[in-house]
Amino acid sequence: AALEARRPVVALETTLVAHGFPRGEGAAVAAEAERRVRVAWAVPATIGVIDGRICVGLEEGELQRFADTPDARKVGPRDLAACVAKGALGATTVGATLAVCRGAGIGFMGTGGLGGVHRGWGQSLDISADLGELARAEALVVASGAKSLLDVQATSELLETLGIPVLGWHTDEMPLFYRAGGGPPVTARVDTTQDAALIAEFHWRLGRHSAVVLAQPPKESLDVDSLVDEAVQTAEQQGIAGPALTPFVLARVHEASGGRTVEANKKIVVENAALAAEVAVAYSKLT
Q: Indicate which residues carry an active-site annotation.
A: 13, 147
Residue 147 within binding range of ligand PSU, rule CB under 6 A = yes
Q: Are 166 and 215 in contact (CB under 8 A)?
A: yes
Q: Chain centroid to CA 232: how far?
A: 20
Minimal distance, residue 205 CB to ligand PSU, in Å: 27
Q: Is 126 a binder of Mn ion (CB under 5 A)?
A: yes
CB of 118 to Mn ion, least distance (A): 7
Separation CA 137–CA 207 (nearest Å): 12
Which uninterrupted H or E stretch holds 189?
Answer: strand 188-190
Residue 201: which residues within 8 A CB-CB, separation 6 or more? 283, 286
**What is the nearest approach in angstroms of Mn ion to the Cβ of residue 282?**
33
Q: Name the residue with the smallest CB distance to Mn ion.
A: 126
The single residue among 265, 272, 273, 278 that binds ligand PSU, judged by CB under 6 A, is: 265
Considering only 8, 10, 19, 186, the residue that binds ligand PSU (CB under 6 A) is 19
Q: Which is nearer to ligand PSU, 64 or 111 (CB)?
A: 111
Of 191 and 220, CB closest to ligand PSU: 220
Residue closer to ligand PSU, measured from CB, 46 or 193: 46
Helix (H, G, I), strand (E, B) or coil at 104: helix
Residue 143: its H or E element: strand 140-143
Q: Could you say which of ligand PSU, Mn ion, none residue 281 binds, taking C-beta under 5 to 8 angstroms by partner kind?
A: none
Give me the least distance between CB of 186 and ligand PSU, in Å please. Answer: 19
Q: Which amino acid is at 15?
A: T
Tell me the per-residue interface mask from 90 to 119 with Mn ion, x by CB under 5 A, - otherwise.
------------------------------
Which one of residues 10, 94, 231, 251 is an interface residue with ligand PSU (CB under 6 A)? 94
Exposed, middle or buried: residue 228 (CB in 10 Å: 0-12, 13-18, 19+)? buried
How many contiguous H segments (helices) and E segments (strands) does the chain have?
A: 12, 10
The rounded distance, in Å, linking the Cα atoms of 8 and 19 is 28
Regarding 179 and contact with ligand PSU (CB under 6 A), the answer is: no
Q: Which does 8 bind (CB under 5 to 8 A by kind): Mn ion, ligand PSU, none?
A: none
Contact partners, residue 273, CB within 8 Å, separation at least 6: 10, 12, 33, 34, 36, 37, 44, 110, 142
Burial of 269 (0-12, 13-18, 19+ CB in 10 A): buried
Of positions 46, 64, 128, 156, contacts ligand PSU by CB under 6 A: 128
From candidates 8, 13, 140, 235, binder to ligand PSU by CB under 6 A: 13
Contacts of 238 (CB under 8 A, 6+ apart): none
Q: Is 94 left (phi over 0), alpha (psi -120 to 50) or beta?
A: alpha
**Window of 30-38, 52-60, 112-120, 192-200 that interacts with ligand PSU by CB under 6 A:** 112-120
In the complex, least distance from residue 207 CB atom to ligand PSU, rounded to whole angstroms: 26
Q: How many residues bind ligand PSU (CB under 6 A)?
A: 20
Instruction: List interacting residues with Mn ion (CB under 5 A).
Output: 126
